[in-house]
């Protein structure tokens, strides 16, 4: 955590004491209902020392076991409510979405780093609704994505060729493909085969966001007035860091947007999210801003979540070879060896559909999402103050042993009806978020995982690598951060047969 000097911080904390105590007294008089249960805080600073900074979902899970589905802490007067069940999240964030759809202003990542301009950080209001409306235009349902299936299939085929050529660069290939799809859909931009500037730019933005973006990484999140401290002030390195991140984020939103506008002016812009929104009229300044940043939000957020999910798929195939064999058996029986699977085969491949759900469940790409409440609320007899930060613990919801049998195992069959037994809960009820802040790209994510899995296992065998005669088992250790990625791992990827090799090398698309 980046802070000012210890002495300065002590003075700043003491300066907050008066306000904190007054607020506590006011709340106590105003409210007869108790706060949700939670760890006991210290005088003055509350639960400052209890707030986890590395894989917070694990700490929140322990709170859930001890305190129940809804728990609460307070840090310097800021109230944080953690939700550890789908039921509590749906009751609050879905059914009461009119008051639980806001986003707290996060001083570091939102205001200083510039992410307050992106859809994920926007306060709930007219601009947010405009962002959502634009995104629904292209990603709103499965039918809306059908026009873009050829692009996804083409890029998935190119992915197979890259993996065949350099299997040891799997993660880079996944990132390149995810970037190529989202850039084409959003901007009509064709990615260069090597060292593409926009793909590299998105990577920098996301690395900065995942490293510095999570709430609570910097003391300014708890003491917002520190945002006014000048960069030269001792201990204010976070201000310089934030400025650099902001410049990168703004460049990443502007560069591809300018590219499209130039193509539109020249009359050569292909169909895309941005070009469609420019059709038939000139945008106002507000509309121009909304289009630029809604596209930028999809570009930056959509590509990295897809990278995490598809990298998790390959990790699962490395660790669970029996699952891989069942997928390949379904592909061989339904598709045969003479062509690659396509989206036209979706309904005929139920095991791959189940595998897609299990990829989304097994490694929570976004373990925690942030909401804020705009009014005081009483829920389940507990007092939820206006402005509270609401944190649904999606990681635990997807790993709750009362919902999923042996949750650490990768088992797609949990989502199939078998021997009269109903499938387990669809993870998409939790993994894409809740209420009016539900991820707008959920159908694209589904499609990206499905086509990657279907095409890859049609032609490749994935297994553990052997080094010096020893089989290397990858470690399951997802990263901390706003978007969680599997720990880098090695695996062996080889063509299944000569026919598979020929399919990869075809120029079908």
pLDDT of residue 254: 93
Rounded to an integer, what distance in angstroms lies between the CA atom of residue 14 and that of residue 20?
Answer: 10
Instruction: Please check whether residue 500 lies inside any domain of the structure.
Output: yes
Annotated binding-site residues read 439
Annotated binding-site residues for heme read 439
Distance of CA 74 to the CA centre of its chain: 26
pLDDT of residue 12: 46
Number of other residues whose CB lies within 10 A of the CB of residue 464: 17
Place of tokens 């307050």: 116
Q: Span 233-258, mean pLDDT?
A: 92
Rounded to an integer, what distance in angstroms lies between the CA atom of residue 55 and that of residue 61?
Answer: 10
Instruction: Please check whether residue 478 lies inside any domain of the structure.
Output: yes
Instruction: Please check whether residue 312 lies inside any domain of the structure.
Output: yes
Q: Span 235-242, mean pLDDT?
A: 91
200 φ, ψ (degrees, to nearest 5): -65, -35
pLDDT of residue 24: 52
pLDDT of residue 309: 97
Q: Span 375-388, mean pLDDT?
A: 97
Place of tokens 């994510």: 445
Instruction: Please check whether residue 496 lies inside any domain of the structure.
Output: yes
Q: What is the pLDDT of residues 178-209, one digit of tens each?
A: 999 999 999 999 998 888 898 888 888 888 88
Number of other residues whose CB lies within 10 A of the CB of residue 253: 23
- For residue 26, is pLDDT > 70? no
Q: Is 504 exposed, middle or buried (0-12, 13-18, 19+ CB in 10 A)?
A: buried
Instruction: Please check whether residue 345 lies inside any domain of the structure.
Output: yes
For residues 282 and 391, the model is more confident at 391
- For residue 419, is pLDDT > 90? no
Rounded to an integer, what distance in angstroms lies between the CA atom of residue 159 and that of residue 170?
Answer: 9
Rounded to an integer, what distance in angstroms lies between the CA atom of residue 476 and that of residue 409?
Answer: 11
For residues 143 and 294, the model is more confident at 294
Torsion angle defined by CA atoms of residues 416, 418, 420 and 424, in that order, rounded to the nearest 10 degrees = -40
Q: Is 5 exposed, middle or buried (0-12, 13-18, 19+ CB in 10 A)?
A: exposed
- Residue 170: domain span: 102-372+412-505
pLDDT of residue 486: 96
Identify whether the C-beta of residue 368 lies closer than 8 Å to the C-beta of residue 56.
yes
Q: What is the pLDDT of residues 252-277, one digit of tens each?
A: 999 999 999 999 989 999 989 899 88
Q: Span 217-223, mean pLDDT?
A: 87
- What percentage of the chain exceeds 90 in pLDDT? 68
pLDDT of residue 359: 98
pLDDT of residue 303: 83
- For residue 1, is pLDDT > 50? no
Instruction: Please check whether residue 150 lies inside any domain of the structure.
Output: yes
DSSP labels for 437-501? G--TTHHHHHHHHHHHHHHHHHHEEEE--EETTEEPPPP--PPPSSS--PPP---EEEESSHHHH
pLDDT of residue 280: 67
Q: pLDDT class for 211, splitting at 50, 70, 90?
A: confident
In whole numbers, what is the pLDDT of the chain averaged over residues?
90
Identify whether the C-beta of residue 131 lies closer than 8 Å to the C-beta of residue 119.
yes
Q: pLDDT class for 450, splitting at 50, 70, 90?
A: very high
Rounded to an integer, what distance in angstroms lies between the CA atom of residue 499 and that of residue 478?
Answer: 36
Q: Span 398-412, mean pLDDT?
A: 97
- For residue 293, is pLDDT > 50? yes
- What percentage of the chain exceeds 70 in pLDDT? 93
pLDDT of residue 10: 45
Tell me which of 30-44, 389-403, 470-484 is least confident.
30-44
pLDDT of residue 369: 92
CATH of residue 306's domain is 1.10.630.10
- For residue 150, is pLDDT > 80? yes
Instruction: Please check whether residue 290 lies inside any domain of the structure.
Output: yes
Rounded to an integer, what distance in angstroms lies between the CA atom of residue 172 and that of residue 178?
Answer: 10
Instruction: Please check whether residue 384 lies inside any domain of the structure.
Output: no
pLDDT of residue 304: 87
Number of domains in the chain: 1
Q: What is the pLDDT of residues 36-83, one digit of tens each?
A: 999 999 998 999 899 998 999 999 999 999 999 999 999 989 999 999
For residue 81, the surrounding DSSP H or E stretch is strand 78-83
Q: pLDDT class for 31, splitting at 50, 70, 90?
A: low
Q: Is 66 exposed, middle or buried (0-12, 13-18, 19+ CB in 10 A)?
A: exposed
- 11: nearest Cα among 238, 234, 231: 234
């Amino acid at each position: 955590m980046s802070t000012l000097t210890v002495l300065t911080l002590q003075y700043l904390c003491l300066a907050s004491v008066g306000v904190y105590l007054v607020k506590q007294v006011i709340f106590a008089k105003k409210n007869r209902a108790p706060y949700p249960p939670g760890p006991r805080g210290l005088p003055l600073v509350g639960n400052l020392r209890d707030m986890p900074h590395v894989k917070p979902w694990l700490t929140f899970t322990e709170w859930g076991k001890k305190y129940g589905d809804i728990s609460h802490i307070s840090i310097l007067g800021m109230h944080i409510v953690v939700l550890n069940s789908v039921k509590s999240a749906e009751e609050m964030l879905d059914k009461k979405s009119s008051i639980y759809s806001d986003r707290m202003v996060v001083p570091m990542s939102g205001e200083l780093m510039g992410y307050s301009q992106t859809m994920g950080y926007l306060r709930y209001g007219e601009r947010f609704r405009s962002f959502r409306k634009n995104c629904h235009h292209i990603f709103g349902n499965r039918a809306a994505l059908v026009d873009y299936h050829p692009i996804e299939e083409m890029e998935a085929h190119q992915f197979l060729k890259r993996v065949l050529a350099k299997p040891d660069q799997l993660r880079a290939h996944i990132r390149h493909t995810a970037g190529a799809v989202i850039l084409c859909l959003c901007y009509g931009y064709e990615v260069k085969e090597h060292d593409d500037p926009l793909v590299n730019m998105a990577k920098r933005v996301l690395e900065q966001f995942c490293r510095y973006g999570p709430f609570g990484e910097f003391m300014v999140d708890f003491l917002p007035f520190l945002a006014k401290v000048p960069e030269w002030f001792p201990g204010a390195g976070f201000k310089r860091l934030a400025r650099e991140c902001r410049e990168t984020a703004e460049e990443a939103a502007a560069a591809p947007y300018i590219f499209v506008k130039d193509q539109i002016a020249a009359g050569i812009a292909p169909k895309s999210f941005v070009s469609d929104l420019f059709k038939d009229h000139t945008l106002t300044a507000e509309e121009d801003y909304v289009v630029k940043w809604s596209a930028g939000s999809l570009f930056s957020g959509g590509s990295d979540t897809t990278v995490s999910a598809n990298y998790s798929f390959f990790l699962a195939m490395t660790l669970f070879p029996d699952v891989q064999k069942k997928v390949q058996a379904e592909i061989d029986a339904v598709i045969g060896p003479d062509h690659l699977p396509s989206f036209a085969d979706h309904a005929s491949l139920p095991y791959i559909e189940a595998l897609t759900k299990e990829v989304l469940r097994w490694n929570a790409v976004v373990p925690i999402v942030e909401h804020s409440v705009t009014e005081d609320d009483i829920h389940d007899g507990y007092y939820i103050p206006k402005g509270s930060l609401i944190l649904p613990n999606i990681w635990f919801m997807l790993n709750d042993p009362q919902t999923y049998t042996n949750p650490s195992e990768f088992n797609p069959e949990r989502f199939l009806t078998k021997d009269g037994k109903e499938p387990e809960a669809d993870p998409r009820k939790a993994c894409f978020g809740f209420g009016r802040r539900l991820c707008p790209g959920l159908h694209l994510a589904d499609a990206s995982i499905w086509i990657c899995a279907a095409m890859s296992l049609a032609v490749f065998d994935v297994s553990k690598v052997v080094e010096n005669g020893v089989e290397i088992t990858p470690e399951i250790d997802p990263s901390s951060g706003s978007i969680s990625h599997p720990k880098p791992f090695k695996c062996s990827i080889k063509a299944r047969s000569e026919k598979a090799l020929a399919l990869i090398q075809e120029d079908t698309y």
